Amino acid sequence: MPHPMLNIAVRAARAAGSIISRSHHRVNDLTIESKRRNDYVSDVDRQAEGAIIDTLLRAYPDHAILAEETGAGGTEGSEYRWIIDPLDGTTNFLHGIPHYAVSIALEYQGRLELGVVYNPVNQELFTAERGGGAFLDNRRIRVAPRKGLEGALLGTGIPFRDDQNLERYIATLRALHGPIAGIRRPGSAALDLAWVACGRFDGFWEFGLKPWDMAAGVLLVREAGGVVIDNHGGDGYLASGNLICANPKLTHVMLQAISKAEKEHESVSRPS
C-alpha cells in the first residue's frame, strides 16, 4: 500500500500535469521570461508550481518547501521538506518538443523518502518510496544490468549556462565515447533519471544540476537497484549538482573514466 504522502505527491503531480497539458498548444500566448541566459520560465511553470504547493500544503501545512521558481517556503525548520520542479524541461516545452516532466520529492530529516516523476505527454508515472522499490505505472522497475561501457546507451546533459565548464564536460564526453552504443541528451534530467531507473538508459551523468532537477529521480534510481554518486565517488551530488548513476558496476566504470578525464583536463588547463 503506497504511503499516504506518496498519494498526495501523485495528486499534486497530476494537477500540475493537467495545467501543462492544457497549455502545450498555446505556447505562443504565454508570458516567457529569461531567468538568465538560456534559462527560461513561463506562466505555466508558475501555475504548475502553485498547484503543487497548494496541494501539498493543504494536506501538510507544517511542511517546508524548496521549489524551483518560488524558492524556500512553507514552515521553516520542518523535518519534512518537499523539493519541487513543476516543469523540468521548460525549453523543450516552449519549443514544442514533447519531453518534459513534473518532479516532486520529499525529504525527512535530510533523507530522501518519496519521489514522483510524471510525464504529462504520455501520462507515465514514476514513483518511489525509500525501502519500497521504484515503479512505473504500478509496475516494479529495475536499472539495466549492463556491466561495462561496451554497447551502453548513456544519457547526459550538455552545459548551457555561462557558469558551467563546457571544456571539462567535453573531456568527460570524449572519455565515455567509443565502445558505447550512443549518448542521448533529451533535455529533462528528471526524466533521464527515471529512464535509468526503468532501464531505458544504462547510465547517466551531468554536471551543474539543481536539487529540484534530480531529487525525485535520485530516489527512483536507488530504489530500482542503482547507485548514485558525485564525480568524486561520494554522496555530495545534491550539493554539488554533479551526478553519475547506473547499476553498481557500470557506475564504477563511468566514474573511473570521468575522473581520469577530469584530472587530465585540469593538468592541461593549469597554468605552467
Q: pLDDT of 9-19, one tens digit each?
A: 999 999 999 99
**Is the residue at 164 inside a domain?**
yes
Which residues, 6 or more positions from 133, have their beta carbon under 8 angstroms from its beta carbon? 140, 223, 224
Domains contained in the chain, number: 2
Is 27 a residue whose pLDDT tops 60?
A: no
Whether residues 70 and 109 share a domain: the answer is: yes
181-205 per-position pLDDT tens digit: 999 999 999 999 999 999 999 999 9
Burial class (CB in 10 A: 0-12, 13-18, 19+), 271: exposed
Q: What is the mean pLDDT of residues 41-63?
A: 90
Percent over 70 (pLDDT), the chain: 88
Whether residues 157 and 121 share a domain: the answer is: no
User: Which residue type sits at 219?
Assistant: L
**CA proximity to 200, closest of 148, 268, 144:** 144
94-111 per-position pLDDT tens digit: 888 999 999 999 999 999
Angstrom distance (rounded) from CA 75 to CA 209: 25
Whether residues 165 and 96 share a domain: the answer is: no
Q: What is the CATH number of the domain that holds 198?
A: 3.40.190.80
Angstrom distance (rounded) from CA 68 to CA 57: 16
Angstrom distance (rounded) from CA 202 to CA 228: 13
